Each structure stands twice: as structure tokens, then as C-alpha cells.
Amino acid sequence: MASHFTLGRVDKDLLDRFSPGLEVISSVGAGYDFVDVDLATQNRQWVTNTPGVVDDATADMTILLLLGTLRNQYAAEYALRHGLTVKHQAGRDPTGMTLGIVGMGGIGKAVAKRAQALGMNIVYHNRKPIQHTLENVVYMPTLDALLEASDVVSIHVPLTTETRHLFGAEQFGKMKPGSYLINTSRGPVVHEDALVSALESGHIAGAGLDVFEYEPKVHPGLLKNMNVSLMPHHGAFTIDTMTKMEDLSLENIDRYLSSGSLVTPVNHFV
């Protein structure tokens, strides 16, 4: 069982130490970007993850950051805790706002459901439209179209070579003036220098981040910005969800040992 929080990267150096003999790398989490899947596949080593079971907890974290950012929660709490005069900077109501979801997978759909309960309008962008049961959800054929239409943009994509720095200066420039960014996916999807610049200019009004480009390090420009809400990659960090993740990870191992099959394989052999 592997977790990027405790094990670090599962790369050639680590795989060579355990090969031959290593047959399954069972990731305790939905993300598996810390595993060299191509090399594992070349070695005929299975990689599994725990999709689905993290959806609700991560969606809850997304809404927590969204509401906290819209209501300037961090700045107000900081002032109270440090005995400072609370500056009454009015927040924003989510009702009537348009939420743009980038990546309408399990987490994205769970976020959409929660955001609709807050009265938000939902648009989303994937490579192609998906089947879903949500009503009044609009597909945007391009990322640019979504950025131009959204008051809040929430990122829910895996980290790949294609999505690294998916959000940079160009994308922030296409977002509405005074809009907000939420990221609970993977830190390197966002170019943090560009985000800090957009925040400092005021073009982006605020951000809610659970992940960081050089995790666990946080960009100094984010740390000092009172319009940024930060969490230390706790999207799925609840007792209930962690138990489900561990159970599914162990189920993959148990099934492989008993039958040679897997529940949630990431890679496939030719």
C-alpha cells in the first residue's frame, strides 16, 4: 500500500529496490501521479487507486473553501484571533453566481450537486460532454469559454503532463475581473507565480487552495494574502473517508492474492 504523504515518489529508484517480487502498488487515494505508472506497467506491476470513495469528502472541502473565500473568512478570523480591529469587508453570496467546474468526474459532480443547493448556476468543461443526472448544468466546449462565463472556477482534474500548469497567466487573464479560484485537485495544475500576480493585481478576488505546486511548501505570496483560504491537502482527510480508502486499497490486494484480479486497476498490460 502506497501513500504519497508517507512514501514519497514511487519512481525507478524505489521500484528497482523491490523488483522482482513486487506485483501490486495499491495507492491509498484517488490520485496516483506520485507513481511512475509507465515504468510499473513496463515491469508488469499493477497500480490501483481508490476512486469514488473520496468524492464526497473532497466536494465538502471544495464548498468549505468556496464559502470561506467568498465571505472573507480567513481575514476576519485572523483579526479576531490577533486582537485586531475587524475590517468589515463585505463578502459575496453564492446564490446566482456561476460556478465553472473544470473536470466533471465523480468529485466534480458531487461539487455541482452541493453548489446547486446554494443556488449557484453550473457550467463545466471536459474533453467531451458526459452523461449525468444533474439538471440545469451547461457544458462548455472550451476552457476559455468556461473561464469567461464563471464567477468562481473550481478545478477537479488529475495531474498529468497535459494538465500541469493548465492554469497560468493566460487563463487567469481570461477569467472575469473579481472572480475566484478554488483548487482541491493537484497543486502543479496551477502556476502559483501567475496566481499570486493575478491576486495581487486584484483581477482574481480570492482563492481557496487545498493543494500547492511545491507541496508541502506554500508560495509566500499566498501565505501573506488575506484573500486566500488555505488547507494542507486535507480534502479526503476524514476518519470516515480514510477508512473507506484503506478498505478499498486492501480489497484490491486481497482480491489479487485470492484470484489474480483487481477492483480498481489504473494500468493494463498488453
Task: Write out the DSSP string of 173-198.
Answer: HHSPTTEEEEE-S-GGGB-HHHHHHH
Q: Is the pLDDT of residue 172 over 70?
A: yes
Statement to judge: residues 117 and 203 lie in one domain: yes
Closest of 30, 32, 28 to residue 10, by C-alpha: 32
Q: Residues 45-57: pLDDT tens digits?
A: 999 999 999 999 9
> What does the pLDDT read at residue 2?
56
Residue 265 lies in a domain: no
Statement to judge: residues 224 and 251 lie in one domain: no
Label residue 254 by pLDDT band (50, 70, 90): very high
> What does the pLDDT read at residue 215?
94
Q: Is the pLDDT of residue 5 over 70?
A: no
| Backbone φ/ψ region at 50: left (φ over 0), alpha (ψ -120 to 50), beta | beta
Statement to judge: residues 36 and 66 lie in one domain: no
**Cα 136 to chain center, whole Å?**
23
Q: Is the pLDDT of residue 224 over 70?
A: yes
Statement to judge: residues 34 and 111 lie in one domain: no
> What does the pLDDT read at residue 270?
67
| Edge-to-edge strands, sheet with 179-183 | 137-139, 121-125, 98-102, 152-155, 179-183, 204-209, 228-230
Statement to judge: residues 113 and 39 lie in one domain: no
Statement to judge: residues 220 and 243 lie in one domain: no
Q: Which domain holds residue 106?
A: 56-230
Distances (CA, A) of 154 to 177, 201, 231: 16, 20, 15
Residue 68 lies in a domain: yes
Statement to judge: residues 32 and 144 lie in one domain: no
> What is the domain count for the chain?
2
What does the alpha-carbon distance between residue 41 and residue 39 come to, in Å, rounded to a whole number?
5
Mean pLDDT of 228-233: 98
Q: Is the pLDDT of residue 81 over 70?
A: yes
Statement to judge: residues 154 and 75 lie in one domain: yes
Q: Which residues are catalytic?
A: 186, 215, 233
Q: Is the pLDDT of residue 6 over 60?
A: no
Residue 3 lies in a domain: no
Statement to judge: residues 64 and 40 lie in one domain: no
Mean pLDDT of 183-207: 99
**Residue 142 backbone dihedrals phi, psi, to 5 degrees:** -130, 155
The CATH number of the domain holding residue 25 is: 3.40.50.720
Residue 147 lies in a domain: yes
> Identity (one letter) of the amino acid at 142?
T
Label residue 171 by pLDDT band (50, 70, 90): very high
Q: Is the pLDDT of residue 28 over 80?
A: yes
**pTM above the 0.75 mark?**
yes
Q: Residues 97-134: pLDDT tens digits?
A: 999 999 999 999 999 999 999 999 999 999 999 888 88
